[in-house]
Amino acid sequence: MRLLGVGMCAAALLAAVTAAPARADTGAPDLSASGPRGAVWALKDTGPAAANGVRFRGLAAVGHATAWVAGTKGTVLRTGDGGRSWQDVSPPGAVADGLELRDIEAFDARRAVALSIGEGAASRILRTEDGGATWTEAFRNPDPRAFYDCLTFFDSRHGLAVSDPVDGKFRVLATDDGGRAWRVLPDAGMPAALPGEAGFAASGQCLVASGSRDVWLATGGGAAARVLHSADRGLTWRAADSTVPGGDPARGVFALAFRDRTTGLAVGGDYRTGRPSPLAAARSTDAGRDWTRAATPPPAYRSGAAWYPYGRTVALAVGPTGTDVTADAGRTWRALDGGSFDTVACAGDGGCWAAGEKGRVARLERHG
């Protein structure tokens, strides 16, 4: 859609969470345990990106040590040492054209796919296989009516990207070769969009996948904020109203996170500064067919969400006014930090990262 500081100790916040899977000692905080071991967002110096006011809305957490971020001015950074240093691996063409890179999906430290947003040719998909040393333009949108918001991958070969509605339906691109080539999927199985309905290119999480075939699309701007689900990699979709308020171009579901093919979270609200965002979080236990509002939602608009891999009921939500954490799979949320972030992602080894305005990038680390 056309569209501070590091905080408090989280010790004992998640004492109610039961047994977490065994894990290697990577330095990630154990959010599933009570006691003195809490968590804080530890800011990482992004150098010129911070000095130049780059806003990072694209984030890929490969692991505790490795992450990619993408943002304004065609900027892409990559770290392989936990954020102690960053390589500027920005695609030269994206920098020259001042592209808004709003999503990035990385398979490892060398392979990544990035999406720029905008009408017509501003929407592009770029791919690297050598850690960002070189980039290939895999797709440039030829339709001035299309505006691509997000992309996601099921595995290292199969992925989708989504545009705001064209001719009354959301448009979906697909790849089956790791992002080298993209094709528009037929829209016969896509429900009609509501008047004014679109996706939000706020965090790279308006389109998310879980497993080999399931994918969900978050919407806003229409009379209802909806979540669309496909169980066949984007060929057919079912739409469901979320409990997140809609009815305004600035309101809706901004981010989704699915722990598996049935259990999901939705967060959003009203992105305008100072506007209230009540009831702006919901959860589903049936693959997005039905949604239940959070009994205690985050206190303000949230644009990003991620499940924490240790503890099946633990997740994070971020936005410009702070970070919240749930220990009960989205039923209730509590404040973790007051710093500004737009997006959050957690890797399988427990490495959680957040990114946002003014070059802010942080990793969740142990406190105490």
Task: List pLDDT tens digits, range 230-275.
Answer: 999 999 999 999 999 999 999 999 999 999 999 999 999 999 999 9
* 298 Cβ contact list (under 8 Å, min separation 6): 267, 277, 280, 281, 317, 319, 322, 324, 333
Residue 31's pLDDT band, with cuts at 50, 70 and 90, is low
Task: State which amino acid sits at residue 59.
Answer: L
**Beta carbons of 28 and 64 less than 8 angstroms apart:** yes
CA distance 39 to 120: 42
At 288-316, the pLDDT tens digits run 999 999 999 999 999 999 999 988 999 99
Mean pLDDT across 199-219: 98
> What confidence score (pLDDT) does residue 8 get?
27
Query: Quick one: which of 96, 140, 97 has its CA closest to 121?
Result: 140
- 288-307 CB burial, b ≥16 within 10 A, e <16: beebebbeebbbbbbbbbbb
Identify which of 275, 294, 277 has the alpha carbon closest to the alpha carbon of residue 334: 294
Over 80: is that where the pLDDT of 5 sits?
Answer: no
- The pLDDT of residue 160 is 98
Looking at residue 32, what is its pLDDT? 56
State percent of the chain over pLDDT 90.
87
User: Whole-angstrom Cα distance, residue 186 to residue 143?
Assistant: 15
Phi, psi for residue 301 in degrees, rounded to 5? -50, 135
- Lowest-confidence pick of 16-20, 104-108, 269-273: 16-20
